[in-house]
Amino acid sequence: MTSLRSAPGSPASTSRAPAPPPVTDRQNIIKVVELNVGGQFYTTTLDTLRKFPDSKLAEMFSGANLACRDAKGCFFIDRPGTYFGPILEYLRSGQLPTQHLPEVYREAQFYGIKPLVKLLEDTPQIFGEQVARRQFLLQVPGYSENLELLVRLARARAVAQRHSRVMVCVMPSEQHSAKYQERPRTEEDTIVMHTPGMLETDVRDLMDCVKMDLQNQGYRVTFSGPYTNSLFSTSSSRFAPACACSFKFTFTWW
């Protein structure tokens, strides 16, 4: 009887084993996540959110530091959702935002996305407002505190008044301030700002900064001046060191 068994090594002797199931590496699965950012919803991947491992955003979605979830199971971030969209687009494609730059810049700082922060700081708008202006205001000790005091005084004087006025006195040195404190007191002369090393032209720019910051808070405000204080001599050159002077800020309430 002829054997049906083929000789070793012949083609008929090679039997095909069942193909093994595909190996799945869980670490390589593209994990899609749903985000709820301040009430606005986005769909993206963990890889996109973790694009910059040293960022705060990546930390929110790494290990045990996962963001909390809302009632529908979406990861929830309690930040303005409108400005998260441009940040997500940058993470996906590297596209630099072109609108709402100050707001996107603030959010990029919050999420710790340093490359985006640096790119935004190189744009003319952010460089002017956030870099150059910030360095300028660092020359004025207690700027933020004086701004808050200015608002408090204006509001206190607004009782039954359509307008309230506060004087801001600019002192180029501590010596000027000491001499100024010896003057007869008046109700209007209230806020004193020290501007060591500033030029007269810088002082006007400083008052523009005060006005701009107040308007950004929603106040309707104008200022006039400078009014030279008779206690001090004046300079004839606009590029000379600033002399002591005052500016009147007027708030309109209704």
Q: pLDDT tens digits, residue range 182-191?
A: 665 555 547 8
Percent of the chain with pLDDT strictly greater than 70: 75
Q: pLDDT tens digits, residue range 106-152?
A: 999 999 999 999 999 999 988 987 778 888 888 888 899 999 999 99
Q: pLDDT tens digits, residue range 30-64?
A: 689 999 999 999 999 999 999 999 999 999 988 76
Token pair 């769909």 is found at: 43
pLDDT band (50, 70, 90) for residue 196: confident
Q: pLDDT tens digits, residue range 162-195?
A: 999 999 988 876 666 666 666 655 555 478 888 8
- For the chain, helix, strand, coil in percent to 5 are 40, 20, 40
Residue 4: per-residue pLDDT? 43
Whose CA is closest to 54, among 104, 111, 92, 95?
A: 111
Strand blocks (E) in 114-238: 163-171, 189-194, 220-228
pLDDT band (50, 70, 90) for residue 65: low
Bond from prior residue into 124 cis (ω within 30 degrees of 0): no
- Longest pairwise C-alpha distance within the chain: 133
- 79-102: average pLDDT: 94
Residue 141: per-residue pLDDT? 87
| Cβ atoms 174, 181 nearer than 8 A | no
- 70-91: average pLDDT: 93
All domains in the chain, ordered by first residue: 29-136 (3.30.710.10), 143-252 (no CATH)
Token pair 């708008």 is found at: 125
